[in-house]
Amino acid sequence: MKVIIVKDYEEASHKACEIMLDVIKNNPSANLGLATGSTPIRLYELMREDHKTNGTSYKQIKSFNLDEYFGLDQSHPQSYHYFMCQNLFNELDIDMNNVHVPKGNGDIDEECKAYNQLLEENPIDIQLLGIGSNGHIGFNEPGTAFDSVTHKVDLKQSTIEDNARLFFNGKIEDVPTQAVSMGIANIMNAKKVLLIASGEGKAKAIQATVEGPKTTEVPASALQDHPDCILIVDEAAATLLKK
């Protein structure tokens, strides 16, 4: 794991943007693994700005999102599909046929199978990740097997609370209790992984991810075995790192 410590959220977003654009410029038909949550919002804004100003094209790019809430239709304003359109896709030249977000409704078993198949056929060049305060990646909560693939998940109470704080207008009762998520094995298959962590709320999870034992209790600790994993951590999220 390569840990890059930067001053703050703004610097983390710029650094992450640099790495994402580097992958896209080197391979204009790259497969991008994308993430939601509040952390990548500024990065996505920078990517939109770059597209507008410098004309970086996404015409040949394919995207694959990590996860989706169970029970929310794509058109629901709190769905991750909707989030991605609002924060990124609507202002890029990406072909929406090349955009993939797991479906949170319908026949979930079939959906998970199809998503795994899709990921097998389209190896991800760079997988962007945030991290949950409990160390989750995607929606892979503590206890998830490292060999897991796309599956339906029961969300932990702390994850529901975290997400209610930032989304769903603070209404905890509106946050779905389940989700569909790429598994940890799918994430580990990406050629490159880029995780961004910002704020003191992530300090414990970052310490456990980087310096703790590799354990399913900290899903992000699986990344210790990834051959090309970069963690961009701001000073607040790095406070508990010993080295």
Ligand X SMILES: N[C@@H]1[C@@H](O)[C@H](O)[C@@H](COP(=O)(O)O)O[C@@H]1O
Residue 67 appears among annotated catalytic residues: yes
Residue 141 appears among annotated catalytic residues: yes
Smaller CB distance to ligand X: residue 30 or 179? 179
Q: Is residue 159 a contact residue for ligand X (CB under 6 A)?
A: yes
Q: In this chain, which of 4, 5, 23, 38 binds ligand X, going by CB under 6 A?
A: 38
Residue 121 appears among annotated catalytic residues: no
Q: Is residue 36 a contact residue for ligand X (CB under 6 A)?
A: yes
Scanning 14-22, 37-45, 86-94, 117-125 for contacts with ligand X by CB under 6 A, the matching segment is 37-45
**Phi and psi (nearest 5°) for 117?**
-60, -45
| Order of strands across the sheet that contains 151-154 | 67-69, 178-181, 151-154
The residues pairing with 3 across neighbouring beta strands, listed in sequence order, are: 231
Q: In this chain, which of 139, 182, 208, 229 binds ligand X, going by CB under 6 A?
A: 139
Catalytic residue among 134, 140, 163, 186: 134
Residues 6+ apart with CB under 8 A from 98: 61, 62, 63
Tell me how far, at minimum, the Cβ of 43 lies from ligand X, in Å.
11
Q: Is residue 172 a contact residue for ligand X (CB under 6 A)?
A: no
Smaller CB distance to ligand X: residue 102 or 132? 132
Helix 9-26, helix 41-54: angle, nearest 10: 50
Q: Angle CA(132)–CA(15)–CA(85) in degrees, nearest 5?
A: 60
Tell me how far, at minimum, the Cβ of 74 lies from ligand X, in Å.
16
Q: Is residue 130 a contact residue for ligand X (CB under 6 A)?
A: yes
Smaller CB distance to ligand X: residue 150 or 159? 159
Q: Is residue 166 a contact residue for ligand X (CB under 6 A)?
A: yes
Q: In this chain, which of 6, 43, 108, 131 binds ligand X, going by CB under 6 A?
A: 131
Residue 136 appears among annotated catalytic residues: yes
Give how far Cα 243 sits from Cα of 192, 199, 213, 238, Å. Answer: 24, 18, 15, 10
Q: Is residue 67 a contact residue for ligand X (CB under 6 A)?
A: yes
The helix or strand, by DSSP H or E, that contains position 129, with its residue range, turns out to be: strand 126-129
Distance from the Cα of residue 167 to its chain's centroid:
16
Instruction: Write out the two tokens for 102.
Output: 């797991």
Q: Are 139 and 181 in contact (CB under 8 A)?
A: yes
Smaller CB distance to ligand X: residue 56 or 188? 188
Smaller CB distance to ligand X: residue 29 or 32? 32
Tell me how far, at minimum, the Cβ of 87 lies from ligand X, in Å.
12
The helix or strand, by DSSP H or E, that contains position 179, with its residue range, turns out to be: strand 178-181
Beta-strand pair 151-154/178-181: antiparallel
**Phi and psi (nearest 5°) for 233?**
-125, 130
Total residues contacting ligand X (rule CB under 6 A)? 15
Query: Which residues belong to the active site?
Result: 67, 134, 136, 141
